């Protein structure tokens, strides 16, 4: 379980596609604090850590660099995950929004995010509004009905508030802080982003369907 509050921007340094896909991500998280088997949301996708170490171990750097806290971890994901997310677009150098799993007692600053992506949305327009950036997305037709004005949505793992909805398209405003702390500062038209609808919206829609039936 996650909150949609991004705590680090990772960088993909290797992707190996042999059956399932295995990717290595460099992170600011201290490697000794990452457990094998732990869950980390990577661009909103809950993935399991299968290996981890210090970045200098991976790069065979000098011992003088060992104190910088940089680490890496590896994750594996299947063809099913690739089909439902944008992870098939990952390549060396790709930047990734990261969030550690929620712990009991942690502050819930965003909204409840499961890390189970529902589909891929497309960026249809990007425009500057003052210091902020207004981005318009197109959701898959089957998910559009779960998105409501002033409701919550997770995009590439980031908890965001929906401004307006028109059919399958909806808009989100990114303030400077969000752009600086996530990968959204580099958003561009045509980007494919992982979309997870609000769990509450899902159950409200199901309840409405059952009552209508």
For the chain, the average pLDDT equals 89
Per-residue pLDDT reduced to its tens digit, 109-138:
778 899 999 999 999 999 999 999 999 999
CA–CA separation, 77 vs 98, rounded Å? Answer: 16
Residue 18 has pLDDT above 90, yes or no: no
Residue 205 has pLDDT above 90, yes or no: no
Alpha helices in 49-175 (DSSP H): 55-59, 79-84
CA–CA separation, 48 vs 35, rounded Å? Answer: 10
The pLDDT assigned to 179 comes to 97
Range 152-165 average pLDDT = 97
The pLDDT assigned to 121 comes to 98
Residue among 92, 104, 111 at smallest CA distance from 44: 111
**What's the pTM value of the predicted model, to 2 decimals?**
0.88
Q: Do 8-100 and 119-212 agree at the fold level?
A: yes
Alpha helices in 74-212 (DSSP H): 79-84, 176-181, 199-212
Residue 199 has pLDDT above 80, yes or no: no
The pLDDT assigned to 203 comes to 61
The pLDDT assigned to 55 comes to 73
Range 138-164 average pLDDT = 95
Residue among 177, 79, 59, 190 at smallest CA distance from 87: 79
Ordered by start, the domain boundaries in the chain are 8-100, 119-212
State how far the alpha carbon of 29 is from the alpha carbons of 7, 73, 145, in Å: 9, 9, 37
Residue 165 has pLDDT above 80, yes or no: yes
The pLDDT assigned to 209 comes to 65
* Residue entry with tokens 């003088």: 64
CA–CA separation, 83 vs 119, rounded Å? Answer: 9
Residues of the chain above pLDDT 90, percent: 77
CATH 2.40.30.20 correct for 119-212: yes
- Domain at 8-100: CATH architecture: Beta Barrel (2.40)
Q: What are phi and psi of 30, to 5 degrees?
A: -65, 130
Range 54-61 average pLDDT = 58
3-state SS, residue 67: helix
User: What is the enclosing helix (H) or strand (E) of 57?
Assistant: helix 55-59
Residue 210 has pLDDT above 90, yes or no: no
């Amino acid at each position: 379980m996650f909150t949609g509050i991004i705590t680090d921007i990772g960088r993909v340094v290797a992707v190996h596609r042999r059956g399932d896909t295995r990717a290595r991500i460099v992170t600011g998280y201290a490697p000794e604090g990452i457990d094998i088997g732990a869950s980390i949301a990577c661009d909103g996708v809950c993935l399991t850590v299968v290996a981890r170490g210090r970045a200098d171990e991976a790069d065979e750097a000098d011992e003088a660099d060992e104190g910088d806290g940089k680490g890496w971890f590896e994750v594996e994901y299947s063809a099913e995950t690739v089909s439902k997310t944008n992870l098939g677009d990952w390549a060396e150098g790709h930047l990734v929004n990261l969030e550690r799993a929620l712990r009991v007692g942690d502050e819930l600053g965003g909204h409840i995010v499961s890390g189970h992506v529902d589909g891929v949305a497309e960026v249809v327009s990007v425009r500057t509004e003052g210091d902020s950036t207004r981005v318009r997305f197109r959701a898959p037709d089957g998910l559009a009905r779960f998105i409501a004005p002033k409701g919550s949505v997770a995009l590439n793992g980031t908890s965001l508030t929906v401004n307006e909805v028109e059919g399958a398209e909806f808009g989100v405003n990114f303030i400077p802080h969000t752009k600086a702390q996530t990968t959204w500062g580099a958003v561009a038209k045509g980007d494919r982003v992982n979309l997870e609808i609000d769990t509450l919206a899902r159950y409200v829609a199901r309840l409405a369907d059952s009552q209508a039936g």
